[in-house]
Structure 1
Amino acid sequence: MVQALPQYSEQIDKLSLHVEIAGKINRIIRESGLRELGQLEQDLVFGDAGMKDVIKFLTTKEDATRENKLRLLMILAAIYPEKFEGERGLNIMKLARLPQDDMNAVNNMRLLAGGSDTKKRSTGAFSLKFDIHKKKRAARKDRTGEEETTWQLSRFYPMIEELIDKLNKGELSKDEYPCMNEPSPTFHGTSQSTPVHQVPAHSMRSRRTATWARPRNSDDGYSSSDSILRHASSDFKKMGQRIFVFIVGGATRSELRVCHKLTSKLQREVILGSSSLDDPPQFITLNQM
């Protein structure tokens, strides 16, 4: 009798569909060798693998797709840019059997990371340091936490997360990220209290609420989404000072997700701006130019 119920049949159909989709995804991962490739890419970023491991992969996995080999070599070029200089770089490209456009993308990634000549000349307050000079050559540091250890291949995180966290704690290097003006005492943390003997700053502009945000009832008898907007606005008022981040050259969706996550974690609204929002194909296309 239970099996004859319409709800039961509908749930069984949905479950069967999900099992079928999961089976197809697992088959693609297994046939494409994505688990092994993902482990190698992650180990490269965290300094647990090196040039020999990449050469071994390219030698034993000749059937790897062009996209997978391109992504692997771009990661390698970002961490070991000097390995792609001169004849050594040509030999790696020949081993990977990549077309000229992909070779241009890898070479441009090497230039973005900085070769050996760039390392010697890169001094001053605005020099970029990506922690690639260490013995381990790790572009990221391992973190301990519940979220990071949930999945086997989830160790990677955008660098912007570490920078924002250091900024919130007041530990961001002033040599690499100089300030035009020194932050106020209440800049770090969530404290917004004003001393009694000080007069709060008065803005010459009046703060007005847009007319579209005024509460009104919808035709179906339920309150409209304006109440949700009001609650969200009041939640932001309880937070600390906002953090504005602007990335020149393009941001990714993972960096956008990090800003959303840190807004709740730090209790400070993190606002991300960029010259563009790029996905992987767009990023590769730009590097091929």
Structure 2
Amino acid sequence: MDLPGKIADGIGMNQIVTSKHVLPWHPVQWSWLRKEKVCRRISPISFPASLVTLGLSDCNLADNAFLHVDLSKLNVLKDLNLSGNPIIYPPESIIHLSRLEKLSLTSCTRLKSISQLPNGVDTVDANDCISLEKVCGLPSSCGVLYINCANLIEMDPYFKLEPLENVNEEILRYLSLSNLEMIRNVAFRLRFDIETLYSNPMELPKFVQNDMTNIRCLPPKRLPAQGFYCNGVFSTFLLSEHMPSWFNTKLSEPFHSSFMVPVNHQICGLSFCFVYTCSESKEIVSEGFLLCISITNLSRIMNWKQDPLFI
């Protein structure tokens, strides 16, 4: 490969960063990758095994381009930047990067899912991945940034969103929502309003600009009522103006209540209901938090806190 000949104290640099202005690969190989074609005469492209940082952002690399890019032998790589590329899935060879700590996928607007990452990864930046639907198989300590991921419905094991009619029947019975016919007739009308994080969107790759323009032009989307699992808590949202009749404890200000649990009594769960109105008339998708729920077990000195997220 025609890599930049930068040497410091006789030792080759262990960092490669590319941009749309720098083409570090052989011109013939690069032209085939950019055209998303497969050339049988081109052998896999290998990077120096000593790399710690590798930046391949905004290089127009699709999934088939990585058939010719060998990442599996980068045993000391810690930071991999694939932002702004039209990939649908991260390259499979990432699983072999045992030292990888950070994976950047910002503005990969065609990315559908993220799965099976090395155990050492502690940060995944997936902001502006507007097609991202599912994240699974991540290390337990991994943090994920997912601003403007309007289609994300599952991040295992943290949360999962699914149509209410597909929810476990036992959960629906606890909520007195056994009338599935009524639930099937409930639908919500959403319009996505994607706001980019960048001060100048024109600096983004052309395909990213096109994808964001297309999603802004989508007609309002109709969705069935959804069930939301998050950290062991199940919640849902239904159109109504009144508290369900089966709630026997209704609170007014101050919103506080206490009760004694009978001896040898096992609590299956606690249900809370809020009735609220939205003052905004705009039909846009936005995020916010409802009132915080705080629960304290005085006898065992245990505390729980839940901040329900709504979209």
What is the TM-score when the length of structure 1 is the normalising length? 0.24
What is the TM-score when the length of structure 2 is the normalising length? 0.23
Return the structure number with greater helix share: 1
Q: Which has the higher contact order (CA 8 A, sep 6+)?
A: 1
